[in-house]
A = this chain, B = another copy of it.
Amino acid sequence: MHEVKVIKNKYITIKNRIDHRAPNESDFIISEETISLNHDKVVVFVKNLYVSIDPYQINRMKTHSCSQQILPNTAAILPGQAIDAGGVGRVVKSTHPDFKTGDLVTGLLHWGEYSVIEGGRTLEKLDPKLDLPLSYYAGGVLGSSGLTAYGGFFEICKPKKGEKVFVTAASGSVGMLVGQYAKLFGCYVVGSAGSKQKVDLLKEKLGFDDAFNYKEETDINSTLQRYFPNGIDIYFDNVGGEMLEAAIENMNIFGRVAACGAISEYTDNMKKAKPDMIAVIYKRIKIEGFLSVDFMDIHEDFITTTVHHLQTGKMQAIEDISYGVESIPTAFVDLFRGNNIGKTVVQITKE
């Protein structure tokens, strides 16, 4: 086989910072570059197969967000720069002793056709379990969304059987898994989503006890009273804003809020929640933020449990897959338009 010395790479960048508004396709550019595979540093060249598309990336695209100081994979994304994201790929060439050509890898890749990973630190070899799809590891049910849902529900919410659980963005990548873990554990689960199709999915396919379309509700506070006549014990928050306020209003004593996401606040900082602190105090409510990286000590548990649930058909992983690097901007923008169902992934290429 003739060894390739250069490869052409298409990748996505932002044209400008995106501050306190929803992103548009016009905020993105598809750039092209030629990558030399001859390199004197320790580098892993990866051909991307699947990349993850997640709402939190919008915080990285702002001029300022407190999130940007926290972790390397929440750092600022600058115009012109390749955008890193969870993904799965195949090693094309490697000068790193742990990786060789042909290895399947997962970790932080780029929104593009290829990823050049200096040092290889953020990668690990992937030995996919049985016949589960590779895409599941690209920030999906066996990647960060799964770990977020599993760790967030079990470690942050500390559920007891029979407790009443409310999940927002319930048909999204994390919400759909939280609801299923909660049902399998023995909780009563109600989800909120933004369309009839999503609500039907939650009730008919994902086993939620009930679900509603928040866009059809005029007073979320009374909606929650209707769905939780005996109060909410656990609120898994993916949206923030007035939903968080209403959940606290309807929460039982010693209720827990897992603060996982605040998508309604990401693109509009006027929508910040004003939770009733008097209720927080008297009802002894706990509101706790978390990130999936905090759960690395339960990662093995998470994988074992989740693979078993998937293989026995007890758990479903809904994916919203589009194809080709060109589809990344729309896939991302659609998250904020509520057009996605399940985990959004872009398949960059078929092998």
Interface residues of A (CB under 8 A from B): 59, 65-67, 70, 74, 237, 240, 244, 249, 253, 259-262, 265-266, 272-291, 294
Contacts and interface: CB of A to CB of B under 8 A. Distances in A.
Contact of A279 (B66, B279, B290): B66
A285 B288 CA distance: 6
A237 to B, nearest CB: 8
Contacts of A287: 280, 286-288
**Most chain B beta-carbon neighbours within 10 Å: one of A237, A261, A277, A288:** A277
Contact of A259 (B67, B262, B272, B280): B280
| A-side interface mostly | mixed
A286 B283 contact: no
B286 A262 contact: no
A278 B265 contact: yes
A277 B272 contact: yes
Contacts of A274: 272-274
A277 B253 contact: no
B285 A286 contact: no
Contacts of A289: 277, 279-286
A277 B30 CA distance: 32
Nearest to A241: B277
Contacts of A288: 284-288
**Most chain B beta-carbon neighbours within 10 Å: one of A249, A279, A280, A282:** A282
Contacts of A284: 288-291, 294
A277 B274 CA distance: 10
5 contacts: A240-B277, A262-B277, A272-B277, A277-B289, A283-B289
A240 B281 CA distance: 11
Contacts of A278: 59, 65-67, 262, 265-266
Contacts of A286: 286-289
Contacts of A249: 66
